[in-house]
Amino acid sequence: MFETEIVTVDPQAFDPKALAKAATILRRGGLVAFPTETVYGLGAVIYNRASVENIFTVKGRPGDNPLIVHIYKQEQLAEIALAVPEQALILAQRFWPGPLTMILPKKERIPAEVSAGLPTVAIRLPSHPVAQELLRQTDQPVAAPSANLSGRPSPTRGSHVITDLSGKIEMIIDAGPTGVGVESTVLDLTSTRPRILRPGGVTHEMLEAVLGAGTVDTPSQINISRPLAPGMKYRHYAPEAPLRLLTGEVEPVRRFLRETVHRQQQAGKRMGIIAYDEDQVAFPSTAEVSFFSLGQRTNPAEGAERLFHVLRLCDQVGVDEILAVAPPRQEVGEAVYNRLFKAAGGKVEEIT
Ligand code: TXA
Ligand code: MG
Give the whole-angstrom CA distance, residue 186 versus residue 173: 25
Nearest to 32 by CA among 175, 197, 153, 213: 175
State the DSSP string of 122-169.
EEE----HHHHHHHHHH-S-EE--BSS-TTSPPP-SHHHHHHHHTTTS
> Which atom of ligand 1 is the closest one to the Cα of 148?
14
CATH 3.40.50.11030 residue ranges of the chain are: 243-351
Residues of the chain with CATH 3.90.870.10: 5-221
184 CB near ligand 1 (under 6 Å)? yes
Determine whether the shortest distance from the Cβ of 112 to ligand 1 is under 6 A: no
Between CA 37 and CA 332 the distance in angstroms is 14
The listed CATH number (1.10.3720.10, 3.90.870.10, 3.80.10.10, 3.30.1360.70) that belongs to domain 5-221: 3.90.870.10
Question: What is the whole-number distance in angstroms between the Cα of residue 251 and the centre of ligand 1?
Answer: 37
pLDDT value at residue 289: 87
CB 304 near ligand 1, within 6 Å: no
Which ligand sits nearest to residue 69's alpha carbon?
1
pLDDT at 287: 66
Residues 301 and 200 sit within 8 Å (Cβ to Cβ): no
220 sits in the region (left: phi over 0; alpha: psi -120 to 50; else beta) called alpha
- Of all helices (H) and strands (E), which one includes residue 180? none
Question: Which ligand 1 atom is at minimum distance from the Cα of 198?
Answer: 19
> Whose Cα sits closest to atom 20 in ligand 1?
231
Cis link prior to 97 (omega < 30° from 0)? Answer: yes
Question: Which of 34, 61, 68, 125 has the most ligand 1 atoms within 8 A of CB, as the residue to mutate?
Answer: 68
Mutating to test ligand 1, I would choose from 32, 59, 69, 146 the residue with most ligand atoms within 8 A of its C-beta, which is 146
Taking only the tens of pLDDT, the chain with its 352 residues reads 789 999 999 999 999 999 999 999 999 999 999 999 999 999 999 999 999 999 999 999 999 999 999 999 999 999 999 999 999 999 999 999 999 999 999 999 999 999 999 999 999 999 999 999 999 999 999 999 999 999 999 999 999 999 999 999 999 999 999 999 999 999 999 999 999 999 999 999 999 999 999 999 987 644 444 556 666 666 667 788 999 999 999 999 999 999 999 999 999 999 999 999 999 988 876 667 899 999 999 999 999 999 999 999 999 999 999 999 999 999 999 999 999 999 999 999 999 9
Residue type, 289: V
| CATH node for 243-351 | 3.40.50.11030
pTM: 0.95
CA dist 336 and 300 (Å) reads 8
The number of the ligand 1 atom at minimal distance from the alpha carbon of 186 is 23
What integer pLDDT is reported at residue 2 of this predicted model? Answer: 82
Going from the Cα of 122 to the center of ligand 1, the distance in angstroms, rounded, reads 7
